[in-house]
């Protein structure tokens, strides 16, 4: 009697959530793009090698070309019975070295990493010194002109609250969609030549963090006043032609730090209880570490 080859029997459909870290320098953002290398594309290829199936992945945030992440959350459905830890180790074996799965969890099948996110936190880093660094140059925006921290910190506090951020929106926002967002925290910190802007909000418009960082840099250079920044927060209702344009800083300095959810495992960035106003803002206070 001939022996039959063993065939793995798929189990019930389940959903896995991954916490993904990546260096975005060579990628055209997270989301799949035609004829472009993307993080989502590389995850799809790794899953195909692992389980032999084309799997659709869903990310919590669509990052820009060249943007980095340490806390992107990605979910997908599978019938494979592998434990989450096996997915983590096996995917890391198939992924390029600039993408890593930091953790893997089984989650309810109705979990949606984008729609169920309570908040997203980004960091923008500026190297403020006469010369650009050799190390870490792909993670920083270099600015030689000296920045004044005190006005930047005051200006960052103006961003907190619910505002119309139309003046901070780049291309990619669908016409007619709301440009109102709620910013929970916005801080500027400095250590040596490193200046960091951290911001947490319920959601962000395309390029919004890079425009906000550009506005704060303009304030630090004394080229933008607090009153003008307040005017920019008036969105589409602001007087046409009277407000200054702020620069959109390069994507290399931007990093998605974490995404928070209600009831998600405490090991995930942001913890299992969702966003808490009483919790430390990434352990920072103004003027402290931005490493």
Catalytic residue set: 64
Helix %, strand %, coil % of the chain (to 5): 25, 25, 50
Residue located via tokens 């959601």: 203
Beta pairing, strands 57-59 & 68-78: antiparallel
Question: In terms of Cα–Cα distance, which of 184, 244, 194, 190 is closest to 214?
Answer: 244
Q: How far apart are CA 171 and CA 176, in angstroms?
A: 13
> Is the distance from CB of 48 to CB of 55 less than 8 angstroms?
yes
How many DSSP H helices and E strands does the chain contain?
Answer: 5, 10
Q: How far apart are CA 151 and CA 174, in angstroms?
A: 34
Residue located via tokens 């063993």: 6
Q: How far apart are CA 243 and CA 225, in angstroms?
A: 11
> Is the distance from CB of 168 to CB of 215 less than 8 angstroms?
yes
Torsion of CA 24, 107, 120, 168, to 10 degrees: 70
């Amino acid at each position: 009697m001939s022996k039959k080859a063993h065939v793995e029997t798929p189990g019930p459909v389940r959903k896995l959530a991954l916490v993904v870290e990546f260096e975005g320098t060579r990628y055209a953002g997270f989301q799949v793009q035609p004829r472009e290398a993307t993080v989502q594309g590389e995850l799809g290829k790794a899953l195909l090698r692992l389980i032999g199936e084309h799997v659709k992945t869903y990310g919590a945030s669509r990052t820009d070309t060249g943007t980095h992440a340490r806390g992107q959350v990605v979910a997908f459905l599978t019938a494979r019975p592998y434990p989450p830890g096996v997915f983590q180790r096996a995917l890391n074996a198939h992924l390029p070295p600039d993408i890593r799965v930091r953790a893997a969890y089984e989650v309810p099948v109705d979990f949606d990493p984008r729609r169920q996110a309570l908040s997203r936190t980004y960091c923008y880093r500026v190297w403020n010194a006469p010369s650009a660094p050799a190390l870490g140059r792909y993670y920083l925006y270099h600015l030689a002109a000296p920045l004044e921290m005190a006005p930047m910190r005051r200006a960052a506090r103006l961003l907190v609250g619910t505002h119309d951020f139309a003046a901070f929106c780049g291309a990619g926002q669908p016409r007619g969609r709301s440009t109102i967002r709620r910013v929970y925290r916005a801080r500027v910190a400095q250590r040596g030549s490193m200046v960091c802007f951290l911001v947490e909000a319920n959601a962000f418009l395309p390029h919004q963090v890079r425009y906000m960082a550009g506005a704060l840099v303009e304030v630090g250079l004394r080229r933008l006043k607090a009153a003008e920044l307040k005017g920019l927060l008036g969105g589409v209702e602001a007087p046409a032609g009277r407000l200054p344009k702020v620069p959109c800083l390069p994507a290399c300095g931007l990093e998605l730090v974490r995404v928070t959810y209600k009831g998600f495992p405490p090991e995930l960035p942001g913890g299992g209880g969702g966003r808490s106003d009483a919790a430390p803002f990434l352990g920072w206070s103004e003027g402290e570490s931005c490493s």
